[in-house]
Amino acid sequence: MKDIKSDNDRKFEETENYYVFTTKVNYPNNRDLTKQVVYFDKKLNIKEVQVLNSKNNTEIKVKITKTDTKATYNTKYFTLNENMQTAIIDEKTESVLKIEDVIYPMYIPENTSLGSQNTIAKSSGERIILTFEGEKPFILVEETVNKEEEFTTVPTYGEPAMLIDTVGSISDNSVSWISNGLEYYVASDVMNIEELVDVAKSINTIPVGK
């Protein structure tokens, strides 16, 4: 609905059974998805959504068979403590204070290479900054994360996306995530988001040499 409302160039047509809107879309983790076709029945219930790529091929299709406009939910569904009661907690998890092995990305854009590597001590842990130079310059930050004694809500900015073994956050020019006691951050003013995601996904938990 937000896409339909915000797209001033949206297209509309009426068929025998549907009202059909065609609008632009914005998927930060897949820029090849360019538009969507949304089908409403004559009672204004959404029945189907198709997301198309730049070649007008359908890559995502969602069909809705039933709409309940009077659905209710328990307010505890979105309460942190209520949700964490059912979470699987690994009590053996410990804070990482030192990065023993620097992890390098297995994917680096063509004509781009590691220019410098700096280690910075923190009050409890350390941060490593890898600067890659060339046609597609970017930085990769690897940083230790302190273990919280209690469950804490940490605000993040960007779109969520699956990265390796966890959920990361994707913004216009950066990707960040936490895995195995380390926080990772990849950013570039030159690379597009697809290239940044490719770099992020190539960072394995197994140390890779330069």
Q: Could you give the count of Cα atoms lying within 13 Å of 159 in the half-sphere of its Cβ?
A: 11
**Which range has the worst mean pLDDT, 100-104, 135-139, 206-210?**
206-210
- What is the sign of the dihedral through the CA atoms of 162, 172, 27 and 32? negative
Element (H, E) at 81: helix 80-84
**From residue 29, how far is each of 34, 180, 194 by CA, in Å?**
12, 23, 6
Give which of 138, 130, 88 is closest to 112, Cα–Cα: 138
- Whether the CB-CB separation of 61 and 49 falls below 8 Å is answered with yes
* 7-27 pLDDT, tens digit each: 999 999 999 999 999 999 987
Residues 11, 12, 16, CA angle at the centre, nearest 5°? Answer: 150
What pLDDT is stored for residue 90 in this prediction? 56
Q: Decide if pLDDT at 99 tops 70.
A: yes
pTM over 0.75? The answer is: no
Which is higher by pLDDT, 29 or 117?
A: 117
Tell me the mean pLDDT in the region 118-146: 92
Share above pLDDT 70 across residues of the chain, in percent, rounded to a whole number: 85
Q: Decide if pLDDT at 204 tops 60.
A: yes
| One-letter amino acid for residue 152 of the chain | T
Tell me the mean pLDDT in the region 131-137: 96
Q: Decide if pLDDT at 130 tops 90.
A: yes
The dihedral formed by the CA atoms of 118, 121, 122 and 124, expressed in degrees to the nearest 10: 130
What is the Cα–Cα distance from 44 to 2, expressed in whole angstroms? 15
Tell me the mean pLDDT in the region 135-164: 79
Domain ranges of the chain: 2-63, 112-201
What is the Cα–Cα distance from 210 to 34, expressed in whole angstroms? 36
User: For 116, phi and psi rounded to 5 degrees?
Assistant: -155, 160
* 170-202 pLDDT, tens digit each: 888 999 998 888 899 999 999 988 899 899 989
What pLDDT is stored for residue 155 in this prediction? 67
